[in-house]
Structure 1
Amino acid sequence: MRFPANLWVSKLPSWSLRIEESSRLGKWVQVLSIYREMQRYGVQPSDPSLFSPILKACLTLSSTYYGKSMHSSFIKQGYDSFASIGNSIVDFYMKCGDLNSALAAFHRMQNTDSVSWNIIIYGHLNRGDAEESLWWFNKARAASFTPNTSTLLLLIQACRNAGAYRKGIEIHGYVIRSGLSAIASIQNSLLTMYVYIDTGSARKLFDEMSDKDVISWSVMIEGYLQSEEPDFALELFREMVSENGIQPDGITAASVLKACARLEGIDMGKLVHGVVIKRGEYDDLFIGNSLINMYSKCNAVGSAFQVYREMSRKNNVSWNSMLFGFVFNEKFSEALSLFNLMVEKGVEVDEVTIVNFLHICKHFVLASACKSVHCLIIRREYELNDLVINSLIDAYAKCNLVDLAWKLFYGLRSRDVVAWSTMIAGFAHCGKPDEAVRVFCEMSKTQEKPTVITIMNLLEACSISAELGRSKWAHGVAIRRDMAADVAVATAIVDMYAKCGAIDTSRRVFNQMQQKNVVSWSAMVAAYGMNGLSKEALALLPEMKSQGLKPNAVTALSALSACSHGGLIKEGLAFLKSMVHEYGIVPESEHYSCVIDMLGRAGKVDIAMDLIKQIPGDLKIGASAWGALLSACRSHGNSELGAGALSHILDLEPMNSAGYLLGSSMYAAEGSWDDATTMRRLVKERGVRVCAGYSLVHVGNRASRFVAGDCSNSRAQEINITVERLHSCMTIDERILLGATEC
């Protein structure tokens, strides 16, 4: 149907005005609707200023059909010879992803300018084809094209994305020769490229820059972070603020907070927090999340929670950062409460949330919760996420569901070194060292190379088995893998030999360590203590101090434990008093528990009770302290005091069988059979799981585990004979000791 010519001619001004107005307001559907109306009248836009908004409407609404129609109109009207219109067409096809049409339109153009080449170069870059964009740059230069600042910025970005650093250096040379090296944007772009290549080269360029803005400083600070040099990042930030007086922006603040988190530099973190508040950026979501992360990793989870609570806006990262903060600082009750709140508020649970929640499950041994999380992982199709699956394997093992952990591990299509290490640690945790060693041997047949963590898990498994031959084999593995010199591995070897009873070998390994830290010394103190060499354990403390190392809370606990097992009451009490004055260690509840155990073993039950009363009010008296007192009351016949201790234990750990069994044993020793029976009945009524105690005895070259009255072990007869011989030797030694005392 044809319309009268005078009709569409009269409507042309109206169409043009409506298209201009609609495009100005961003009403692209309306722009396209007006264009379709023009087509129904058989009219094509004749005003070149209308082409760009119509093409933009086609692009925004993904209407390639009408875009191609416009292109046909340009050709028919001879407008394709205009560089600006040709550029619009090429840009349209590039952004639509139609590379062939874009290149065809580009080659058809009679006049190309810098915009034309920029469109082609940027289009390839946007497609992720950085190499192709560099090829087009060379082609442009061969065509005598002189790149402008925009082109150079795009090319430098292309070199960085493609890792084409040699080409990037060539472009840097071109920039210098062209006299464009003083342009701040180009300098910053080159600096960003160099921090990915070499921090030293980036710093050289940075120092040569005469005019550094906040972007320059931020790029260099982030560069140091990427190269794992956070100390240099903080030093540069100090120089930026104090010497140059440049105020950091949000990006700088986030980078510095990241550096503070890695170095646990809370003082600098607080300073940045103050700058953020002063600049009024405390409501910035990204900075708020960075502050939560910084405070959490600086062990200031209270401050992290305060930032979290004061945030007016929170996203999924905010919730996960706070959840991680509680888990990282071992505030698992708070973490569980926050997770429940997340579910209540309908916050999306993602992979990060699941990993953190599995840590909570491990701590509280929530076996059923692990299974529920496993179902969620399957529904969300997270099985291909290595971190999630490895965390689930670890959680199953730590919740004593090692068979499920093994089934999950065995069903993996591919296993990385973390999965292997986690499975070895899982078997070791569940008291299955043979299976742990078997998994390591199976891993050795694959292409995966063990890490320090893998070797340490293997050493832990060998220490549980307490077999000296196997432990020596594991030591040999560490040597062959060039890991025995690592301070953490060497410390684990010291501990392993000590648990095998080879204290001389343990000390020899300790002496051969090229580097020793507080953990190493603490392990050696504990090694002497567990082998009954209490005085040697205490003698290590002044030796450690002479080496410039200060004992920490763990060292002190090992020393007190040595005093407890060696019966060194006087020395143990003296050490407890000297902890603050001599070593600057504030006693914690674990230290007091150890001393109470020491006094209880010596029969000084009343003194132990007095010590409990003297424990500072801000310290929570744990079940271990009351358990030590109850054990002493059972051994030395003080059921009156023991009943009070038992009451505290059952309140603190109602699902732990140890308290019930100790109480029953205490009442039975005094002939209070009704009370003893009550304790046993409570175990059944409350569904408390009773874990039988076991002992290890060496039969031949193997350490065998046995429980009193258990005949299920294949070597039960050999074990019983060995135990009888040990008992006979102990009886003879006791008679000799008594005879010497009487003399």
Structure 2
Amino acid sequence: MVLVTFLYENPIRLAVSFNRFSNSFTTLQTTSTRTQLLTPQNPQESIRSNHKYSLTPIGNRSILSKGFDSYVDLIRECSKRKSLVELRRLHLQIKKSGFLHPSLGLKLIDSYLKCGGIDDARDVFDEMPQRHIVTWNSMISAYIRCKRSDEAVKLFRMTFSEDVIADEFTFSSIFKGFSDLGVLYQGREAHGRLVVLGLDIWNGFVGSALVHMYARFGKLGDARLVSDRVLEKDVVLMTALIVGYTQHGEDSEALEVFRDMVLMGIKANDFTFSSVLIACGNIADMSRGKQIHDLVIKSGFEVAIATRTSLLTMYSKCGLIDDSLKVFDGFANANMVTWTAVIMGLVNNGREESALSMFHQMIRSSINPNAFTLSSVLSACSALAMLELGREIHTIVLKEGFDRDRFVGATLMDMYGKCGNVKMARLVFDDLNEYDVVLVNSMIYGYGQSGCGEEAVRLFDQMQDSVIKPNDMTLLSVLFACSNAGLLEDGYRIFSSFKKNPKFELSIYHYSCMVDLLGRAGKLKEAETLITKVVNPDVVLWRTLLSACKIHGDVEMAKRIMVRVIELEPEDEGSHILLSNIYASTGNWADLSKLKVVIKDMRLKKNPAMSWIEIDGEVHKFMAGDTSHPRETEIDQELDNLNKDIKVLGYVPDTSFVLQDLDEKEKERSLYYHSEKMAIAFALSKRRNKSTCIRIFKNLRVCGDCHTWIKFVSKSVGREIIARDAKRFHHFKDGQCSCGDYW
């Protein structure tokens, strides 16, 4: 070994030494009278029997045996050093010496694979005149590890033509290759060949591979049959079955398999616990989730990253976000997957601000986000309508190269759409490499939110000529867009085309969209007739028409519809509040008083009007009539100034939108402190750049007086104001609104 080490320190000497060794070996073969190479009549027979050549001995060792050992030592040293270059030089010398035979070839293949030279290993494999099944297995498994399963399958099929008999190791490897390639038929064929060969297919080793393959294909019945036949079940097999059930939405079955596993005394590993915890989260089984958590602690797997990540995901899916955060706090060095899991959990549990704070901590910890992380924080920006932060995250998306990812693209579109920047949403849409129905639906809905009905219909019509076929959400999105823009004819046309299509079944929600379109257009009787054609119309349909009655002040129809609502759902909160608003808006105070008694007895509460605005990365919230904001004095002064200015321009307060029985001055004062007016006054009091657009958001629909007030303000201050209410976006500029006063 001293000589070997010395030679390795100088590659030139190594090559020279190989030449000398080769020459010496040749000389000894041809000139020595004391040795005689015993060449068998059939060289292949010698290879099959011993995988070595036989030599007459000199003392206790043969010359050829000594050469073999030297080459083995050098090959082993190359593997140790992971030196692909030196191994190639050694391989060349071996080829020149004519010394390549199965045993040495197998060691060369093994060393090449350890050094990352899978193609070099294949060259050795192809050079070998006779290859043992171990050699075939090494190459097949290596191809699969390197994600080159197609080549593994080709090699597996070569065994048929070369009369090589595959063994259990061959099949356990190739089943994974079929899974990776998604070729179930070939996998079944290999399963059949395994049976024909009479191999021990029911041991845990091969059984686990088969279970994994069938589970990956969603053939869980076949996977379970294989599992039931295996006599020595182990954790690998049971985990493969659990993962298969979980990945295909059969979480209860996964938990049953885990229960059987525990009863059989098979100890779970990190992957087992991760999978069953995910199953608990998917079906929100908090009770079993906590039981498994206790088992995780007892088994000592609580520190395992995969298990802990699944734990926090399970708790967040069960709505126990604080428990999820406690698990996260236990991480010493959380990785990207863990950070993403906790951020997604916060977003899904309505804790968007906390999710964004956590994202900032992640970036400060030098953890790069992935597509799921970015999609989650963009969803948080959408919910909070934080456009500026959304733009910053868009920059990160571009930097990380996720701008063409369709999942990130969908959330980017949604963020821009919900922040009222439909032009930017379309730019993101146009830059995507591939489209699906979800992306197209998102774009159509985004157009609908911003009142761009014609653009939505145009995109829908283009969709009809593409390979992407519309689904139920497509119809909902385009009808929503037609309703917001008052496109009655287009809505009729599209709705009728789906209704006539026997392959498409209209739902209550599709009828509700059409009722909304008709009702907002003032076609109340047509809307009512449409509802009567629906089999078993529900409260949603009648409440939609009730909302249209409020818009048009039709008290008599509202009373008639309310009777229908009470028959179906006597304590429907939304309908009672809608009717009370109709009475108030039409001055029907007597009926309102009676209804208020009913509402009080039912303990119904109306959601208070609230508006919010993002300025310098901070969200400011305003409640109707609330004067507790720290800058209330400045807001009040700004409101006074604005009202004076716009009254000069012709603004007259519309007190019909005050839903209380007050005198005119009190009504006007009530309008004064609507939440959207306070939010706009606050933004203007900041005296920011006058070219900056003001964006406000409201949880309820903007009232008619506020709509008129904002139009006058946009003209007075020369600023564009974008308001998103519960229904849509309103773009105010120069005294006009994008909705054309139709909302």
CA distance in 2, matches of 1:15, 1:708: 86
CA distance in structure 1 between the aligned counterparts of 2:209 and 2:148, rounded to whole angstroms: 19
Q: 1:230 aligns with which of 251, 258, 279?
A: 251
Aligned to 1:570: 594
**Shift of residue 249, structure 1, vs aligned partner:** 2.6
Aligned amino acid, residue 166 of structure 1: Y
Moved more, 126-135 or 426-435: 126-135
- How many Å separate the matches in 2 of 1:264 and 1:302? 15
Tell whether 2:606 aligns with 1:591: yes
- 1:383 is paired with a residue whose SS is coil
Q: 1:175, CA displacement in angstroms?
A: 2.9
Matching residue's letter, 1:560:
I
Conserved 8 A contact 1:526-1:558? no
Aligned-partner Cα distance in 2 for 1:278–1:507: 63
Matching residue within 455, 459, 463 for 2:483: 463
Partner Cα distance (1:319, 1:247) in 2: 29
Shift of residue 179 of structure 1?
Answer: 4.0
Name the CA distance, whole Å, in 1 between partners of 2:731 and 2:169: 78
CA contact (8 A) 1:332 1:363 kept: yes
Per mean C-alpha deviation after superposition, the further-off stretch among 377-386 and 522-531 is: 522-531
Change beyond 3 A, Cα 1:572–1:676:
closer
- The code of the aligned residue for 1:14 comes to V
- Pick one of 259, 276, 300 that aligns with 2:320: 300
The C-alpha deviation readout for 1:696-720, integer Å capped at 9, x for no partner, is: xxxxxxxxx999999979999xx9x
Question: 1:14 matched to which residue of 2?
Answer: 2
Alignment CA distance shift 1:461-1:175 (3 Å): same
Aligned partners of 1:527 and 1:53: how far apart in 2? 87
**For 1:122 and 1:671, how far apart are their aligned partners in 2?**
80
Once the two structures are superposed, residues 420-443 of structure 1 have per-residue CA deviations (whole angstroms, 9 ceiling, x without a partner) of 222222222223323322332233
Distance in 2, matches of 1:657 and 1:438, equals 43
Aligned-residue offset at 1:160: 2.5
Q: Evaluate the alpha carbon distance shift between residue 309 and residue 93 of structure 1 in structure 2; reply closer, same or farther with a 3 A threshold.
A: closer
Q: Find the aligned partners of 1:485 and 1:163 in 2 and give their Cα distance.
A: 35
Counterpart CA distance in 2 for 1:143 and 1:683 is 80
Alignment match of 2:542 (pick from 488, 510, 524): 524
Whole-Å Cα distance in 1 between the matches of residues 272 and 733 of structure 2?
68
Query: What percentage of aligned pairs have identical amino acids?
Result: 22
Indicate which of 218, 222, 243 corresponds to 2:239: 218
1:398–1:426 CA contact under 8 A, matched in 2? yes
Output the amino acid matched with 1:285: I
Correspondence 1:433-582 to 2 at 5 A: 433-480=453-500, 482-486=503-507, 488-503=509-524, 506=527, 521-522=539-540, 524-531=542-549, 532=555, 533-536=557-560, 538-540=562-564, 543-544=567-568, 555-566=572-583, 567-578=591-602
Give, in angstroms, the shift of residue 623 of structure 1. 5.3
User: Are the structure 2 counterparts of residues 659 and 233 from structure 1 closer, same or farther at C-alpha, using a change threshold of 3 Å?
Assistant: farther
**Which amino acid is 2:545 matched to?**
A
1:187 to 187, 203, 207: 207
Q: Does 1:115 align with 2:134?
A: yes
- Give the secondary-structure state (helix, strand or coil) at the position aligned to 1:212: coil
Mean Cα deviation higher: 656-665 or 130-139: 656-665
CA contact (8 A) 2:410 2:442 kept: yes
Paired with 1:715 and 1:324, the residues of 2 have a C-alpha distance of 35
Counterpart Cα distance in 2 of 1:652 and 1:423: 42
* CA deviation profile, 1:498-532 (whole Å, cap 9, x unmatched): 4444455555655665688xxx5345335325425
> For 1:328-477, what aligned pairs fall within 5 Å after superposition?
328-412=348-432, 414-477=434-497
**Could you say which residue in structure 2 is the equivalent of 1:685?**
685
Distance 1:495 1:304, change over 3 A: farther
The amino acid that maps onto 1:231 is S
1:281 aligns with 2:301: yes
How many residue pairs match? The answer is 619
Alpha-carbon offset, residue 315 of structure 1: 0.6
Q: Does 1:160 align with 2:204?
A: no
Q: Provide Cα deviations, 1:302-329, integer angstroms capped at 9, x if missing partner.
A: 2221211222330111112111111112
Q: Cα distance, 1:108 vs. partner?
A: 4.3
Structure 1 pair 137/562, CA: closer, same or farther in 2 (3 Å)?
same
**Local SS of the residue matching 1:80:** coil
* Alignment match of 2:227 (pick from 196, 199, 206): 206
* Partner amino acid, structure 2, of 1:356: S
Q: Is the 8 A contact 1:657 1:689 kept in 2?
A: no
Write the deviation string for residues 402-453 of structure 1: whole angstroms up to 9, x where unpaired. Answer: 2332344345565443332222222222233233223322333333222332
Contact kept in structure 2, 1:650 and 1:659, CA below 8 Å: no
Q: Secondary structure at the match of 2:602?
A: helix
- Call closer, same or farther: CA 1:433–1:208 in 2, change over 3 Å: same
Of 472-481 and 248-257, more deviation after overlay is shown by 472-481
Q: TM-score, normalised by structure 2?
A: 0.71
The answer on whether the counterparts of 2:635 and 2:685 sit within 8 Å (CA) in structure 1 is no
Residue identity matched to 1:591: K
> In the alignment, is the contact (CA less than 8 A) between 2:546 and 2:575 conserved in 1?
no
Cα 1:297/1:52, change in 2 over 3 Å: farther
Which letter maps to 1:216? L
Q: Is 2:355–2:380's contact at 8 Å kept on the other side of the alignment?
A: yes
**1:33 aligned onto 2:9:** yes
CA contact (8 A) 1:646 1:659 kept: no
In 2, Cα distance between the equivalents of 1:214 and 1:707? 60
CA 646–73 in structure 1, closer or farther in 2 if over 3 Å, else same: closer
| RMSD between aligned residues | 4.6
Tell me which amino acid in the other structure corresponds to 2:297.
I
| Structure-1 residue corresponding to 2:292 | 272
Task: Choose from 193, 196, 199 the match for 1:174.
Answer: 193
Is the 8 Å Cα contact of residues 424 and 458 (structure 1) preserved in structure 2?
yes
**More helix per residue: 1 or 2?**
1
The alpha-carbon distance between structure 1 residues 656 and 492, as it changes in their structure 2 partners (threshold 3 A), is farther
Distance 2:221 2:641 in 1: 65
Q: What displacement does 1:684 show?
A: 4.2
* TM-score (norm: length of structure 1): 0.71
CA change 1:179–1:427 in 2 (3 A) is closer
| 1:521 partner letter | V
CA contact (8 A) 1:355 1:391 kept: yes
Q: Which ranges of structure 2 fall in alignment gaps of 5 or more residues?
A: 23-65, 550-554, 584-590, 611-620, 648-652, 656-662, 688-693, 697-701, 710-728
Question: Relative contact order (alpha carbons < 8 A, sep ≥ 6): 1 or 2 greater?
Answer: 2
Conserved in 1, the CA contact under 8 Å of 2:479 and 2:513? yes
C-alpha separation in 2, matches of 1:671 and 1:136: 85
| SS at structure 1 position matched to 2:606 | helix
- Partner Cα distance (2:634, 2:380) in 1: 18
Aligned counterparts of 1:284 and 1:659: Cα–Cα separation in 2: 61
1:475–1:264: structure 2 CA closer, same or farther, 3 Å change rule? farther
Distance (whole Å) between structure 2 residues aligned to residue 196 and residue 578 of structure 1: 52
